[in-house]
Chains A and B, each alone.
Chain A
Amino acid sequence: MSTVATPSAVGSVPPEGSGKHILAAPRPRYGEKVVLGLLWLCAAISVVTTVGIIVVLFTEAVALFGIPGVSIVEFFTDTAWRPFTDPGSDNFRIGVLPLLNSTLLVTAIALAIAIPLGLATAIYLSEYARPRVRRTVKPFLELLAGVPTVVLGYFALTFMTPLLRSLFGIERVPIFNAMSAGIVVGILVVPTIASISEDSMSAVPRALREGAYGLGSARRHVALKIVFPAALSGIVASIILAFGRAVGETLIVSLAAGNLPPAELPATNPFQQVQTMTAYITQAVGGESARGSVTFQSIFAVGALLFVLTFLVNLIALRIVRRFREEY
């Protein structure tokens, strides 16, 4: 053991008063600075992406309103969407309201399905289910959330629509309708509502629950009157996020809801063909229209509206989620 040489560091201490500090860096580390700069750039790409999205959507959208015959006021107020003709013609109308109406109709149907199902699932998993059941059910919900939307679109068109037609009558339910798409979009966002709500319910302190049980409350009263209100902000956030997902959903509505903007506003009949904002975008890009044309620029104008809608919604939801995380 004692054959080992003495380490050299002890002897290497320079005399006092020599110019360089004895603990100064032995060599400059320029390479490190470069690598750190590169890592910073990687992180900055996300900001570039956001700025890119905003700049692209708005410059391309503004170009639409530079085309003679297209007015920004009409875009937001006119009640018909017929952008495929020449802007000079009488038939040309470019009001986005029918698309917005269609999107909101499908989203309303989706949330009418997803809110009760999602919240019931969340309450069952957090308050009733045994741990083993919970561990089995949650992966299945994740699986559902991972099914490609084009597959769900196929399902809506070839399974849900025939089912609705046989239930409500072929003459009442057209092949393309808001109901079928809305139901399937609703199923798609059930996992969003269920998992975020369940997280916020599970985060409710045990003491609160035990206090209520101690007073002799039944399980359902504890779930509905204690846990539910305490987790409300998380639940609201989950619904807002689900709203954002439903508004931005593209494939299900393109395949099952149709490509006909409703002629009469407000359109509230779920069994009618509609055209959502996203469906319009997929329809219009299919023509590969040239940059500078009304069709091409209108895609971006609709996209900008969609982005603003979902961005605001997400911002609100994230703020709520952050606040509820701080509470406990």
Chain B
Amino acid sequence: MDQRITSEPLTTAPSTAQPIRIDAGSSATPSTSAASGPVWSQDSAGSGSDRPGASKGVVFGANDVSVHYGSAPALVNVTLDIREREITAFIGPSGCGKSTFLRCFNRTNDLIPGAKVSGRIDYHAQNLYAKDVDAVEVRRRIGMVFQKPNPFPKSIYDNLTFGPKVNRMKVDFDEVVETSLRRAALWDEVKGKLKQNAYSLSGGQQQRLCIARALTVDPEVILMDEPCSALDPIATAHIEDLMRELEHDYTIVIVTHNMQQAARVSDRTAFFTAEIESEDDDRRFGRLVEIGDTSKIFSNPTDKRTEDYISGRFG
């Protein structure tokens, strides 16, 4: 299982490293973690804020990003970095554009008619929206897990071989199925029934299957759009454990409504807010308030709005 060690800040991120992690305790420490949940350390509230995290590799650099649907803004002027092999959480009230922003990273907004992304997003210092970028390849490299578990209405096995097949990966399918299921901590539960329809699994198992499915195509990043919002607390705890396990090899960005979840799993948290466009119109658009180490955001936020939201004064 996951070991939580509070240590000196990292300067490198070797891929074979032990699961080293700077854990951020939180003033909003949840009491609901399941038995299998993390071991919390409470002493790092101060130390997290000044660690030189920027020395970690930057996967995504977003610079002054805005998204419009037609003429209506959904999100304006967001600038932030997503770091390698960390979990970054986006939190904020509904309508704050956090899911919209997440969808910019794998160019799913391209599929929505009328959606327009402006500003610049870099992926490993190369423009994600450059002309010669292939949106299909982007989505292969940057996986996504959705709000509602969405397995294909096929067998568990077929769910996991679809990705390698369409990407013409020269791999042993049986091996891919087993590897991805093991990584998603689902192997033991389903190894005897790989030919069964994926719909026969429970909601939590389906979501882990979807995570396993995302892993089959060797992504570097996994975007998760409220992956636990349709699950019960036990299934949620499973997924959270899994995320911390995957963090060693993957960069994870998670959108969540659940502040405790952000506090439990993420290294860094970005807080978004929804602003009302004008007095006579209820349309809202999102704006980034601040981003920082999770420990700092939850214990000592810079902005009053973050503090209000986290302490439950609105949202």
Contact = CB atoms under 8 A, between A and B. Distances in A.
B183 A16 contact: no
B189 interface: no
Contact of A8 (B124, B215, B218): B218
B118 interface: no
A25 B132 CA distance: 8
A43 interface: no
B130 A21 contact: yes
Interface in B106-138: 123-126, 128, 130, 132-134, 136-138
Interface string A11-36: 10100100011111110000000000
Contacts, number: 59
Interface in A1-60: 1, 3-11, 13, 16, 20-26
Given A1-B185, A5-B179, A9-B218, A23 B15 contact: no
A3 B178 CA distance: 12
Contact of A16 (B125, B218, B245): B125
A25 B137 contact: yes
Contact of A23 (B125, B126, B182): B126
B127 to A, nearest CB: 8
B93 interface: no
Given A22-B123, A23-B134, A25-B134, A10 B183 contact: no
A22 B249 contact: no
Contact of B220 (A1, A5, A9, A26): A9
B73 interface: no
Nearest to A10: B220
B185 A23 contact: no
Contacts of B182: 1, 3-4
A24 B249 CA distance: 23
B249 A7 contact: yes
B7 interface: no
Given A1-B182, A23-B128, A23-B137, A6 B218 contact: no
A16 B137 contact: no
Contact of B15 (A1, A6, A24): A6
A150 B128 CA distance: 64
A9 B15 contact: no
A130 B15 CA distance: 67
A7 B215 contact: yes
Contacts of A24: 132-134, 137
Contacts of A9: 141, 218-220
Contact of A22 (B126, B215, B219, B245): B126
B31 interface: no
Nearest to B16: A6
Nearest to B15: A6
B124 A22 contact: yes
B132 A1 contact: no
A23 B132 CA distance: 8
B20 to A, nearest CB: 14
Nearest to A27: B168
Interface string A264-283: 00000000000000000000
A21 B138 CA distance: 11
B249 to A, nearest CB: 5
B15 A26 contact: no
A100 B161 CA distance: 64
Contacts of B126: 16, 21-23
Contacts of B133: 21, 23-24
Given A11-B15, A23-B138, A24-B134, A6 B125 contact: no
A9 to B, nearest CB: 4
Interface string B198-237: 0000000000000000010011100000000000000000
A71 to B, nearest CB: 54
A5 B124 CA distance: 23
Contact of A25 (B125, B136, B249): B136
Nearest to A18: B126
A23 B141 contact: yes
Contacts of B124: 13, 16, 22
A35 B205 CA distance: 36
Interface in B170-200: 179, 182-183, 185
Contacts of A7: 215, 218-220, 249-250
Nearest to A20: B132
A217 to B, nearest CB: 35
A26 to B, nearest CB: 6
A8 B179 CA distance: 13
Contacts of B179: 4-5
Contacts of A11: 15
Given A6-B249, A13-B124, A24-B134, 17 more contacts: A4-B183, A6-B16, A7-B218, A7-B220, A7-B250, A8-B218, A9-B219, A10-B249, A16-B125, A20-B132, A21-B130, A21-B132, A22-B124, A23-B126, A23-B128, A23-B137, A23-B141
25 contacts: A1-B183, A1-B245, A4-B183, A5-B179, A6-B15, A7-B215, A7-B220, A7-B250, A9-B141, A9-B218, A9-B219, A10-B15, A10-B250, A11-B15, A21-B132, A22-B123, A22-B124, A22-B126, A23-B123, A23-B126, A23-B133, A23-B134, A23-B137, A25-B137, A26-B134
Top 9 A-B pairs ranked by shortest CB distance? A25-B134, A9-B218, A23-B133, A9-B220, A7-B218, A21-B132, A24-B132, A23-B137, A23-B138
